[in-house]
A and B are shown apart, each in its own frame.
Chain A
Amino acid sequence: MSVPRFWRKQIARYNLVGTYCKTCEEYFYPPRNVCPSCRREGEIGEFKFNGNGELVTYTVIHAAAEGFEGQTPYVLGIVQLEEGPRLTSQIVGDPKEMHIGLKVRPVFRRLGQSGERGMIYYGTKYVPA
Chain B
Amino acid sequence: MREVAIIGVKNTLFGEQWDRSFRDLVVEAGVGAVEDAGVAGEKIDSMFVGNMSGGQFVEQEHIGALIADYSGLAKNLHVPSTRVEAACASGGLALRQAICAVASGMDDIVIAAGVEKMTDVPASKASSALAAAADREWEGIMGATFPGLYAMIARLHMHRYGTTSEQLAEVAVKNHFNGQFNPIAQYRNTITVDAVLNSIMVADPLRIFDCSPITDGASAVILAPADIAHEYTDTPIYVKGTGQASDTIALHDRRDITTLEASVVAGRRAYEMAGLGPKDIDLVEVHDCFTIAEICAIEDLGFAKKGEGGKVTQQGETAIGARIPVNTSGGLKACGHPVGATGIKQAVEIVQQLRGEAGKRQVDGAEIGMTHNVGGSGATAVVHIFSRNR
Contact = CB atoms under 8 A, between A and B. Distances in A.
A123 interface: yes
B279 interface: no
Interface residues of A, number: 37
Contacts of A58: 152, 155
Interface of A: 1, 5-6, 9, 30, 36, 56-68, 71, 73-74, 76-78, 85-90, 95, 100, 111-112, 121, 123
B155 A57 contact: yes
Contacts, number: 106
Contacts of B253: 36, 85-86
B142 A88 contact: yes
Nearest to A63: B202
A57 B151 CA distance: 9
12 contacts: A5-B137, A58-B152, A58-B155, A60-B204, A63-B127, A68-B143, A74-B143, A88-B142, A88-B250, A88-B252, A100-B159, A111-B141
Contact of B203 (A6, A62, A85, A123): A62
Given A57-B155, A59-B151, A76-B152, A121 B141 contact: yes
B152 A78 contact: yes
A89 B142 contact: yes
Given A59-B204, A60-B203, A65 B152 contact: no
Contacts of A86: 252-253
Interface in B114-148: 124-125, 127-128, 131, 136-145, 147-148
Q: Which 9 A-B pairs have the closest CB atoms?
A: A59-B151, A60-B204, A57-B156, A86-B252, A68-B143, A57-B152, A66-B128, A59-B203, A78-B252
B155 A71 contact: no
B153 interface: yes
A61 B141 contact: no
B257 A123 contact: no
A71 B143 contact: yes
B137 to A, nearest CB: 7
Nearest to B135: A88
A59 B142 contact: no
B322 interface: no
Interface string B191-229: 000000000111111100000000000000000000000
Nearest to B123: A63
Given A86-B252, A100-B156, A1 B148 contact: no
A82 B310 CA distance: 32
B68 interface: no
B332 interface: no
B251 interface: yes
A59 B155 contact: yes
Contacts of B155: 57-59, 100
A76 B144 contact: yes
